[in-house]
Amino acid sequence: MPFFEASLSIGFYTYIRVSGVVIITVGVVLIFKQIQKELLSIKQLME
């Protein structure tokens, strides 16, 4: 990361960092929702 920070403008570097955090957060939320859906399906199959 220090190489990118030194070679990119401050605004673009900040954009990359913020968008990375947002993408990871959205990905985790989507994965969590999918896991919940799968667990519900498994629970219904077990009944």
Question: What pLDDT sits at residue 21?
Answer: 98
Residue 3: what pLDDT?
A: 77
- What b/e readout covers 20-36, taking b as 16+ CB neighbours within 10 angstroms? eeeeeeeeeeeeeeeee
pTM for this prediction:
0.72
pLDDT for 1-47, tens place per residue? Answer: 677 778 889 999 999 999 999 999 999 999 999 999 999 999 999 98
Confidence (pLDDT) at 19: 97
The amino acid sitting at 31 is I
CB 13 within 8 A of CB 5: yes
Q: State the pLDDT at residue 6.
A: 84
Residue whose entry in the numeric block shows the structure tokens 């990361």? 1
Residue 47 has a pLDDT of 83
For the chain, what is the domain count? 1
* Range(s) of the domain holding residue 21: 2-46
Residue with tokens 């401050």: 10
